[in-house]
């Protein structure tokens, strides 16, 4: 399978497309973010907070909490086939996380209208405590037909 | 100067406090995010998008764009002394960035009311093109007196 | 029952508290917004778009769509007893509404942490089409003990 | 001047277009919201909080604060000519307002990219105290050419 082009990714089946996206996802691979599950309009990813992800206050940097949620959002909204990107996102931080915590982000589609989608992502620690709630607004890029 | 404790950071002057925060900021140091300027209620930070910061679509991961903005926000809202954390944030992505781009995030305070603050952060590339607009809501932690 | 004071409202049972809040809610009563259902952490309200709620483009003013969602959010987060107010909110408009449309806003609690709560509100028309998605962040006011 | 159609509004000059939009704006006219100033990418509107705009806690309903900001946002983003609508908005409530308060909403454009715009609106009372900060994301409707 040639996954070197976006066109190849789109014409492949959902599993192959997702695998190709992940294979090229230097961010997730580099940070050890795993794609645990993906389906139409949803995805679940996990990340262990490393010592390198801590801020000056000694807790997990909010930027990494957002990044994990944003990654799950991205796989959920790209599950339909056409290239889809984040247009906006909002996050509320509910509890701090610490180095060593294993976090899971669960993204589910909330609504779709035309090329716009709304996805909710909940970030939890291994005790199922909610660390952050994220809502993303996606847009499918024009001229990118739905893959078969 | 002992910068090993939060108490020491708060009782130090603004420059020493900021330096101590940055010295312990594994995230910013690890990603090469530099603190170019900081003042009361404002901060400017820079980051070069590395090959490790790219997503499956081949552009800079939105999570890293947010992280840069969030970092500038954090230094701006901690400039007053008391430990201040992000409670919520919203970001709009206006243009993609690519590996090699040098990005700058400029954070300015927009409003304060009690322990809550609103900060706006604009992320630009080296051609001054706006990549993302971020707005963060901060909260000063209770029981942390303003440093002298 | 004396519902003339906030103290009386808080010490009353949930149904009496809600009824007292609604009795004094000039906005909802004036706009014909009905409180169809309320429970712990949730509420459902309805509003018919009147000719007076239209903007210059001939569609329902987004401000009124937000207001309906915000009202449902308010009854949901005040269902616990202590006076609770909106601190921030975000809305995405997915489809226009027109004069004569009967809209329903359904608010559910998504998360709580300390005195902060997150509530999601979906606004639908009578055909169950989603018109808007709203997320609100609430805060319980300090020094207002939970009612018995 | 025939202002009965959107086409007429778009082909008119900026002042005539704005006047026509306002003439048909049942919401703003009905609530006594005045359009004090409008320019390219900006607008200022005012509203006096009436007794009918109060919630069950005795303060101005957040929905009306949002509505005022949203209205100013709308005139600012429609100042370019093509029909432009709100796609999303975020508001932070910083201080309560009361019946009788005269509020002003000042909308300014923050960024534009393609058909998307970002506008910031600050709502102040007559003592210039900031009541709310609003950020809106607009989208120009496709197939609506810029008026001459």
Q: Which of A114-118, C15-19, C68-72 has the lowest mean pLDDT?
A: C15-19
Angle at D38 between CA D35 and CA D39, to 5 degrees: 175
Long-range contacts of B9-15 (CB under 8 A, 24+ apart): B10/B81, B10/B82, B10/B83, B10/B144, B10/B145, B10/B147, B11/B147, B11/B148, B12/B147, B14/B40, B14/B79, B14/B81
Are B137 and D92 within 8 A, CB to CB? yes
| Torsion angle (degrees, nearest 10) of CA C90, A132, C107, B112 | -40
The CA distance from B87 to the nearest CA of chain D, in Å, is 12
For A90, the closest of D87, D90, D116 (CB atoms) is D90
Are D137 and A90 within 8 A, CB to CB? no
Residue A8's pLDDT band, with cuts at 50, 70 and 90, is low
- Taking 50 as the threshold, does the pLDDT of residue B146 lie above it? no
Give residue limits of the domains in chain D: 6-140
Residues in C touching B88 (Cβ below 8 Å): 88, 137
Residue keyed to tokens 């483009």: C57
Residues in A touching B90 (Cβ below 8 Å): 88-91
Instruction: Look at the alpha carbons of C125, C129, C132, C134 in this order and tell me if their dihedral is positive or negative.
Output: positive
Provide the pLDDT for residue C122. Answer: 98
d(CA C69, CA C64): 9
- Taking 90 as the threshold, does the pLDDT of residue A11 lie above it? no
D79 and D18 in contact (C-beta within 8 Å)? yes
Q: Which of A98-107, B68-77, C26-35, D11-20 has the lowest mean pLDDT?
A: D11-20
Phi-psi region of A143 (alpha: psi -120 to 50; beta: other; left: phi over 0): left
**Residue D66, token pair as written in the block:** 């949002």
Are D94 and B110 within 8 A, CB to CB? no
A to B CB pairs, distance under 8 Å: 125
B24 and B52 in contact (C-beta within 8 Å)? no
Q: Which residue of B has its CA nearest to A72?
A: B63
**pLDDT, tens digit (0-9, with 9 covering 90-100), for D55-76:** 999 999 999 999 999 999 999 9
Beta carbons within 10 angstroms of residue B13's beta carbon? 11
pLDDT (average), residues B31-48: 97
Are B90 and C90 within 8 A, CB to CB? yes
Average pLDDT taken over every residue of chain A: 90
**Residue A83, token pair as written in the block:** 């290239």
**pLDDT, tens digit (0-9, with 9 covering 90-100), for C98-144:** 999 999 999 999 999 999 999 999 999 999 999 999 999 999 997 54
Are B122 and D111 within 8 A, CB to CB? yes
The A-side interface with B (CB below 8 A) comprises 6, 20-28, 30, 51-58, 61-64, 66-68, 70-71, 74, 78, 83, 85-93, 96
- Taking 60 as the threshold, does the pLDDT of residue C5 lie above it? no
Provide the pLDDT for residue A2. Answer: 35
Q: Between C1 and A29, whose confidence is greater?
A: A29
Domain made up of A6-140: CATH architecture: Roll (3.10)
Average pLDDT taken over every residue of chain D: 90
Could you tell me whether strands B102-113 and B84-93 are parallel, antiparallel, or unpaired per DSSP bridges?
Answer: unpaired
Which chains have 3 or more CB–CB distances shorter than 8 Å to chain A?
Answer: B, C, D
List the single best residue of C58, C59, C63 to mutate versus D (max D Cβ within 10 A): C63
d(CA B3, CA B16): 9
- Taking 70 as the threshold, does the pLDDT of residue A5 lie above it? no
Residue B7's pLDDT band, with cuts at 50, 70 and 90, is low
The CA distance from B113 to the nearest CA of chain D, in Å, is 6
**pLDDT, tens digit (0-9, with 9 covering 90-100), for D78-103:** 999 999 999 999 999 999 999 999 99
Average pLDDT taken over every residue of chain C: 90
Which chains have 3 or more CB–CB distances shorter than 8 Å to chain D?
Answer: A, B, C
Phi-psi region of C32 (alpha: psi -120 to 50; beta: other; left: phi over 0): left
pLDDT (average), residues C35-44: 97
d(CA C139, CA D101): 24
Are D27 and C71 within 8 A, CB to CB? no
**pLDDT, tens digit (0-9, with 9 covering 90-100), for C74-105:** 999 999 999 999 999 999 999 999 999 999 99
d(CA B97, CA C85): 39
**pLDDT, tens digit (0-9, with 9 covering 90-100), for A22-79:** 999 999 999 999 999 999 999 999 999 999 999 999 999 999 999 999 999 999 999 9
Residue C1's pLDDT band, with cuts at 50, 70 and 90, is very low
């Amino acid at each position: 399978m040639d996954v070197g082009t976006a066109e190849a990714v789109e014409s492949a089946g959902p599993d192959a497309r997702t695998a190709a996206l992940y294979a090229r996802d230097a961010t997730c691979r580099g940070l050890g973010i795993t794609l645990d599950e993906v389906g139409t309009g949803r995805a679940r990813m996990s990340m262990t907070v490393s010592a390198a992800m801590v801020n000056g206050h000694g807790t997990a940097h909010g930027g990494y909490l957002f990044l994990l949620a944003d990654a799950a959002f991205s796989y959920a909204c790209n599950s339909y086939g056409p290239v889809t990107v984040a247009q906006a996102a909002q996050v509320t931080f509910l509890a701090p996380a610490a180095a060593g915590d294993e976090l899971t982000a669960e993204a589910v589609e909330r609504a779709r209208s035309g090329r716009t989608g709304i996805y909710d992502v909940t970030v939890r620690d291994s005790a199922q405590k909610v660390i952050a709630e994220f809502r993303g607004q996606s847009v499918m890029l024009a001229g990118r037909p739905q893959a078969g």
